[in-house]
Amino acid sequence: MSILAIRIDGKAVSAAVREEVKQQAAALTAQGHQPALAVILVGEDPASQVYVRNKHKACAECGIRSLQYELPASTTQQELLTLIQTLNEDDTVDGILCQLPLPRHLDEQAVILAIDPKKDVDAFHPVNAGRIMSGDYGFLPCTPAGIMEMLRRYDIAIPGKRCVVIGRSNIVGKPMAMLLINAGGTVTVCNSKTRDLPAVTREADILVAAVGKPHFVTADMVKEGAVVIDVGINRNTEGKLCGDVAFDEVSEKASYITPVPGGVGPMTITMLLQNTITAAKIHKEENE
Ligand code: GUN
């Protein structure tokens, strides 16, 4: 009988970080600067409504003021940019997040560019993306930041390790690769079309799957003792939530593994809260 991998408990790590966020929010509030996050939702996408509601709830639980802007799907580009400009200029607002995807007639890139980089708690603005490249960052994109936090809290060292990231999105794959490079990893970025992908992934000491395909990573693709991080949030044929990794079979080979649900997912909003605290500290110092 094989030994099963240790499950990385995203809920527990998330709870620990949220406790620290709560304390930092209380300290800032006591100094007269309650951290505040503005969340903009355009339209009625049901998944986005759930995400936004969860962000609001998480803020409330940690003592962060959250301002909700729910705009109709008919909102024009100009109306949205005007709201962002108002929030950029509002000294009481520390972070601004515009929930994506936007309705088709709106230009996402223009919206990302309009948010003041100092309030860009998603770290989607090119200024923040560039700062991640140089290793000098204030904000980190929430999902990769959450993964780094989990690795840190489980004492999983990165220097010298072979790291393979499957997925090259701007939100997860690319910044994830940068953070692993900055931490001293030897990093390969693949995608679902990479030739002989299993041969590449079998090299990984740390394997991050962000492909968006249920059970894409199977045991034959994983090296004995690897750390496997599953970013996928998919539904299987029975409609059940599942990741990109075939959890049961990969658990028999990996040393550590993140489950879905309960792994990377809970960390994402937590890192948004952490970014809001960072933004509040920047603004507080600027206003002093
Ligand atoms: N939609 C799905 N994930 C995210 C996220 O992290 N930030 C924003 N702004 N929109 C999203």
HEC per residue, 156-175: CCCCCCEEEEECCCCCCHHH
Q: What average pLDDT does this structure show over 53-73?
A: 98
- Please indicate whether residue 55 is annotated as part of the active site: yes
- Residue 254, number of CB atoms within 10 A of its CB: 25
Q: Are 141 and 175 in contact (CB under 8 A)?
A: yes
Average pLDDT over residues 235-239: 88
pLDDT tens digits for 259-274?
999 999 999 999 999 9
Q: Are 275 and 149 in contact (CB under 8 A)?
A: no
Average pLDDT over residues 6-20: 98
pLDDT > 90 in the chain, percent: 94
Q: Which of 9, 55, 119, 244 is catalytic?
A: 55
Reported confidence tier of residue 237, pLDDT bands at 50, 70, 90: confident
Q: What percent of the chain is predicted at pLDDT more than 70?
A: 100
Residue 261: cis peptide before it, omega within 30 degrees of 0: yes
Mean pLDDT of the chain: 96
Picking from 206, 47, 244, 58, the residue whose alpha carbon sits closest to that of residue 142 is 58
Of the candidates 126, 108, 141, 101, the one whose C-alpha atom is nearest the C-alpha of residue 231 is 141
Q: Look at residue 252 in the predicted model and tell me its pLDDT.
A: 97
Q: Which helix (H) or strand (E) holds 227?
A: strand 227-230
Q: Which atom of ligand 1 is nearest to the CA of 100?
A: 10
Give the E-state strand segments of 43-111 in sequence order.
Answer: 65-71, 95-98
Per-residue model confidence (pLDDT) at position 1 = 57
Ligand 1 mean position, distance from CA 268 (Å): 9
Annotated active-site residue 205? The verdict is no
Pocket lining for ligand 1, CB < 6 angstroms = 97-100, 122, 142
* Residue 187: partners with Cβ closer than 8 Å, 6 or more residues away: 163, 164, 165, 177, 180, 181
Cα–Cα nearest to 26, from 66, 67, 65:
65
The Cα angle at residue 141 between residues 138 and 144, in degrees rounded to 5: 115
pLDDT in tens, 68-126: 999 999 999 999 999 999 999 999 999 999 999 999 999 999 999 999 999 999 999 99
Of 122, 205, 230, 244, which one is the catalytic site residue? 122
| Mean of pLDDT values over 7-15 | 98
Global pTM value: 0.95
Q: What is the pLDDT of residue 2?
A: 73
Which residues, in sequence order, are CB contacts of 175 under 8 Å at separation 6+? 123, 129, 132, 140, 141, 144
What is the position in ligand 1's atom list of the atom closest to the CA of 171? Answer: 6
Q: Looking at residues 174-190, what average pLDDT do you find? A: 97
The pLDDT of residue 219 is above 80: yes
Is 57 annotated as catalytic?
Answer: no
